[in-house]
Amino acid sequence: MKKISAKGLRWLKGFHLIAVSCWIGGAVALLLLYFEKSGVTDGGVLYGINKSIHHVDMAVIVIPGAYGCLVTGFMYGVFSAWGFFKHNWLIFKWIVTIAAILFGTFFLGPWENTMMEISGKLGILSLGDKDYLYNEKMNFIFGCLQVFVLLVTVFVSIFKPWKRRKLKD
């Protein structure tokens, strides 16, 4: 496969960094929006916060950033000398990226959707609803964990801590 030029790699790195920034920055924004709920006394405001969380996640920042990381990472693997499995730190990044996208798809997203739906139906009474509180708690705890793992992955990318794998010929 033909490799891209050094200038092309810089462009690819730029797009990869933009995607990473969107994914992590958006995820941090979602966690910060959680704290906007404290002291809310109006059901419409609570629903608005949950709707904003959903919008930031699904439509404009988090999911596009996550898939941007996946696509640009794939392009790195195909069009650069880094490959996909030459280094243990790259394997770590692939595992984290795919696991985080799957976890977001099957857990974080549904918890978020449930909060939005419940607050849309019950309004301020959602804050006493056991299903709403469960989904909110799970989303916050595992959202924090996901942000932490993504930040660790950034530093793994910087320090490249594990040696090159010995590949069989």
9-48 confidence digits (pLDDT tens): 999 999 999 999 999 999 999 999 999 999 999 999 999 9
With 90 as the cut, is the pLDDT of residue 60 above it?
A: no
Neighbour-count burial for 90-108, b at 16+ CB within 10 Å, e otherwise: bebbeebbeebbeebeeeb
Q: Give the position of tokens 């990472």.
A: 73
Q: What percent of the chain has pLDDT over 90?
A: 89
115-166 confidence digits (pLDDT tens): 999 999 999 999 999 999 999 999 999 999 999 999 999 999 999 998 777 7
Secondary structure letter of residue 38 according to DSSP: T
For the record, the structure tokens of 140 come out as 């916050």
Record the pTM.
0.92
Q: Tell me what pLDDT residue 167 has.
A: 65
74-99 confidence digits (pLDDT tens): 999 999 988 898 899 999 999 999 99
CA distance 109 to 117: 12
* Contact (CB, 8 A) for 100 and 149: yes
With 60 as the cut, is the pLDDT of residue 169 above it?
A: no
Q: Parse the chain into domains and list their residue ranges.
A: 6-34+42-156
* Contact (CB, 8 A) for 43 and 23: no
